[in-house]
Amino acid sequence: MGVLRTHTPRNQERSGVVDAIKASTRRFLGGFFRQADLADDTDMFASGFVNSLFAMQLILFVEAEFAIQVEDTDLELDNFRSLDAIARFVTAKRAAADACDAEGQPDAADRTTVS
């Protein structure tokens, strides 16, 4: 059954979206980590490299690149720990935004642009 599921068009599309999220995030992270050291499940926070300025840039990147708003309730290390985690987080935020759009609700507060 698992094999059959992964070959449905919808799952293929979802897999392509996740791969695209990981690819663009990997390009961004290339400025901070050596590519060879960064597997999909590498825990960036365990590397000891991460500091507050990196964290801030990562949040800005995720917001700008994937057109989502990172809210105070999203501040969990598990949302940003690895490429896999970021892809899961972005996918979930997009799904929530789509659901809000479907119901005609605003999904983000009015914000000024100073980062």
Residues at the contact surface with another protein, assessed by CB under 8 A: 28, 30-32, 52-53, 55-61, 63-64, 72-73, 75-76, 109-115
Smallest separation (angstroms) from another protein to the CB of 88? 19
In the bound state with another protein, the residue whose beta carbon lies nearer, of 104 and 106, is: 106
d(CA 104, CA 4): 35
Q: Which residue's structure tokens are 């960036």? A: 44
Nearer to another protein, 10 or 111 (CB): 111
Cβ atoms of 66 and 94 within 8 Å: the answer is: yes
Q: How far is the CB of 45 from another protein (least distance, A)?
A: 10
| Residue 74 CB, nearest approach to another protein (Å) | 9
Beta carbon of residue 40, minimum distance to another protein (angstroms, whole number): 20
CB count within 10 Å of CB 42 equals 15
Q: How far is CA 61 from CA 3, 21, 58, 84, 106, in A?
A: 34, 12, 5, 16, 22
Nearer to another protein, 3 or 114 (CB): 114
